[in-house]
Amino acid sequence: MGKRKIIKLFETRSGNMEYLLNRDYISNGIATIPVHISEFNDVISPYSVTGYEAINPEFGDLLKTAAECAPPEYPLVLNIIENCLSQAEKEIITEVISSEFAYDLGMVEREEKRHTKVFVLMIVGLILSGILLYFTHSLADEPRELFFILFWFMGDTLCDYIFLTGHDLRQERRMAGRLASIKVIFSEKYEGPNYTESEVNRLYDEIEKDVKRSLDVEK
């Protein structure tokens, strides 16, 4: 029996994300993340102080990982499956999830604004260094090399922002916005998602209202 090229087989195998997504997550344009909890502290950090609750980091990481699996155009619904929470605890969980992801979104926005300022400065610097290169062609090589290095530094930084850093920031911004808009529901047992058109429309309306409210607060 000849030697099998097993590594080559692994390299050429293709995945099937669509099957898993459609089976477990997607229903009528909505991505549902089902999680089962056995106590309040599965969601809320046990180190939290009453009135200053925070998400359990492990639970937060689970949500972010699950959200990354769903295509970006699908709104998110978190279905918490439990039979251990009081109504007050449900309200705390809903509020903490909303506020913490909104805070994360604010941090992404701050970073995005900082990069935008750097982007503008790099454009100005690129133009100025290009002008200096054009009008200093008669200078010795050493002074011109300094302008040349400056020109290429500005250009390289701009390209990195446009094609790499900027792209990553936009993706991070989109994900933070989705998580900040996540809708939390509670169930006593797991049932596969099956949203009607009216439920989908209501969810979209709620998201639009939340986005408008956040923009009004920012103003």
pLDDT tens digits in sequence order for the chain, 219 residues long: 456 777 877 777 766 666 566 655 777 889 899 999 999 999 999 999 999 999 999 999 999 988 888 888 889 999 999 999 999 999 999 999 999 999 999 999 998 888 888 888 888 888 888 887 777 776 666 667 777 788 888 888 888 877 777 788 888 888 999 999 999 999 999 887 888 889 889 988 988 888 888 877 765
53 and 96 Cβ atoms separated by less than 8 Å: yes
pLDDT of res. 18: 64
Residues 6+ apart with CB under 8 A from 95: none
pLDDT for the residue numbered 141: 64
Distances (CA, A) of 167 to 159, 181, 209: 11, 21, 27
Where exactly are the structural domains of the chain? 28-218
pLDDT at residue number 214: 80
User: How many Å apart are CA 139 and CA 136, to the nearest integer?
Assistant: 5
Cβ–Cβ under 8 Å, residues 180 and 104: yes
pLDDT score for 38: 95
Which strand ranges, in their side-by-side order, compose the sheet holding 26-27?
A: 26-27, 30-36, 76-81, 183-187
- Which long-range CB contacts under 8 A does 163-170 form with residues at least 24 apart? 165/115, 166/115, 166/119, 169/108, 169/111, 169/112, 169/115
- pTM, entire model: 0.78
Residue 13 · residue 6 · CB < 8 Å? no
For the four alpha carbons of 119, 122, 127 and 128, in that order, the dihedral sign comes to positive
Virtual torsion, Cα 87, 88, 94, 100, nearest 10 deg: -160
Residue 14 near residue 20, CB atoms below 8 Å: no
Phi–psi pair at 185, nearest 5 degrees: -130, 160
